Amino acid sequence: MSRINSFIRPLVPRDPHEAHRVATPLELLTDLCFVVAVAQAATGLHHAISEGHAATGVGHFAMAFFAIWWTWLNFTWFASAYDNDDGIARLLTIFQILGALVLAAGIPRFFDNDPLLIILGYVIMRIALVIQWVRVSRNDPEHALTARRYALGIVLVQLGWIGFYFVPAAIYVPTFLFLVLCEFAVPVWSEKPGMTPWHPHHIAERYSLFFIIVLGETILSTTVAIQDAVSGEHPAAKVAYVVVGGILIVFSLWWLYFQRNAGDALGGDNVSPFVWGFGHYFIFASAAAIGAGLASRVDYWTGHAEGSALVTGAAVTVPVAVILAALWFIHIRLHDSSTRTLVPFGVAIAVILGGTFTAVPELVAGLACAALLAVELVLTEGTKDSAAH
């Protein structure tokens, strides 16, 4: 009986003020499996841009990335509030990992307009989450109504996603957007009876770790493209623009994101966890899209892209501009919403978008990100000095 009790424990709330709360090894494993799907989505976008189908590629990427990110988000916030690490929770998490891998396997087919495997993977992951919420409803009386709402809402929206497979092409995008709004409505509606006890610093760490992994995928996709370029008969020397620009972009974004402590801001009373949590879609998706854009620029410089200089350039500059805008609104603004931070970010975004029309948009974007980082470092150090005095 004692072994059974250790394998199955009540799924009760975690302490939202628990000291030294960190990501578990199973959470890290889950992230790595999700990033496989991210890599597949970025690869699909890269190929679509290079083959001259940028518009449809961006649409497929945005939809596929939503499926990846939304299931990761739901798993992350649930685990922050209720992870008891018993045997059932571990098995259900592994079941979610299986769903993530099925979803990842279906992404190449989704770019060919076949969403079957993505929907199947999504169903698998949602089944595991519904079972977890049912467990909460039985073990946590204070949040039982919240848990039941989550379980019901997820099931109803999931039925909608199954029906999405049979939607005619004429209403494909509107139906997708409607179902996305339904997904957003589920946690907003479910949390009304009482917020689940998520841990702000744990959530901040989980998001930051996922951001690092997505940036790592960006580096990988660019590296593979460069490797293919230099192994050809006539490697383009101009690929160096992609190398330098990519390094400046990735490391500047990493530094900007981690320059301020997200956990402290997220725990504040004036911060909406829904805006902060949902808004990270633009940060994560843009980070992955940057890798696809840089890879398409390698194809352009080596003569392997059907996409024009303008299109492949925009594939880099637009996601960099979007991620900077989202980074300020979601993160930097919570620490300092004054013109001291708004103006430098706005100027950098304008320069980057203007760089789309130059010969080296990737290099312009990299230099603008580096300059913005320098300004941000001066601002944060100045704030620390003022506080010290």
CATH number for the domain spanning 281: value is 1.20.1410
- Of 133, 166, 190, the residue that ends a domain is 190
Separation of alpha carbons 164 and 10, rounded Å = 36
Are residues 76 and 49 both part of a single domain? yes
Q: Is residue 50 within 8 Å of residue 296, measured between CB atoms?
A: yes
Are residues 185 and 207 both part of a single domain? no
Are residues 216 and 339 both part of a single domain? yes
Q: What is the pTM of this model?
A: 0.91
> How many Å separate Cα 316 from the centre of its chain?
17
Are residues 27 and 143 both part of a single domain? yes
- Of 190, 222, 245, the residue that ends a domain is 190
Q: Using only C-alpha atoms, what is the Rg of the chain?
A: 22
Which pLDDT value is given to residue 388? 47
Residue 95 is assigned to a structural domain of this protein: yes
Close Cβ partners of 52 (under 8 Å, ≥ 6 residues apart)? 305, 306, 307, 311
For residue 76, the number of C-alpha atoms closer than 13 Å in the C-beta half-sphere is 27
Residue 7 is assigned to a structural domain of this protein: no
Are residues 221 and 158 both part of a single domain? no
Q: Is residue 100 within 8 Å of residue 33, measured between CB atoms?
A: yes
Residue 50 is assigned to a structural domain of this protein: yes
Are residues 308 and 384 both part of a single domain? yes
Quick one: 61 exposed, middle or buried, by C-beta within 10 A (0-12, 13-18, 19+)? buried
Are residues 222 and 294 both part of a single domain? yes
Separation of alpha carbons 260 and 240, rounded Å = 31
- Of 135, 169, 190, the residue that ends a domain is 190
Close Cβ partners of 324 (under 8 Å, ≥ 6 residues apart)? 256, 345, 348, 349, 352, 369, 372
Are residues 28 and 171 both part of a single domain? yes
Give the SS3 label for residue 144: helix
CA 301, 304, 310, 316 dihedral sign is: negative
Are residues 121 and 175 both part of a single domain? yes
Run of H or E residues at 111: none
Number of separate domains in the chain: 2
Residue 156 is assigned to a structural domain of this protein: yes
Residue 85 is assigned to a structural domain of this protein: yes
Residue 364 is assigned to a structural domain of this protein: yes
Residue 5 is assigned to a structural domain of this protein: no
**Residue span of the structural domain in which 246 resides:** 200-388
Quick one: 206 exposed, middle or buried, by C-beta within 10 A (0-12, 13-18, 19+)? buried
Residue 138 is assigned to a structural domain of this protein: yes
Q: Is residue 295 within 8 Å of residue 245, measured between CB atoms?
A: no
Question: Any idea what DSSP says for residue 14?
Answer: P
Are residues 271 and 323 both part of a single domain? yes
Q: Is residue 300 within 8 Å of residue 239, measured between CB atoms?
A: no
Q: Mind listing the pLDDT tens digit for each residue in 111-170? A: 998 999 999 999 999 999 999 999 999 999 999 999 999 999 999 999 999 999 999 988
Are residues 207 and 336 both part of a single domain? yes
Closest by CA position to 249, among listed 299, 286, 303, 202: 286
Are residues 178 and 232 both part of a single domain? no
Torsion of CA 66, 70, 71, 77, to 10 degrees: 160
Walk along the chain (389 residues) and give the pLDDT tens digit of each residue: 445 556 788 888 898 888 888 899 999 999 988 989 999 999 999 999 999 999 999 999 999 999 999 999 999 999 999 988 889 999 999 999 999 999 999 999 999 989 999 999 999 999 999 999 999 999 999 999 999 999 999 999 999 999 999 999 889 899 999 999 999 999 999 999 888 999 999 999 999 999 999 998 888 877 877 777 777 666 677 888 998 999 999 999 999 999 888 887 787 667 788 999 999 999 999 999 999 999 999 989 888 888 899 999 999 999 999 999 999 999 899 888 889 999 999 999 999 999 999 999 999 999 999 999 999 998 876 555 555 44
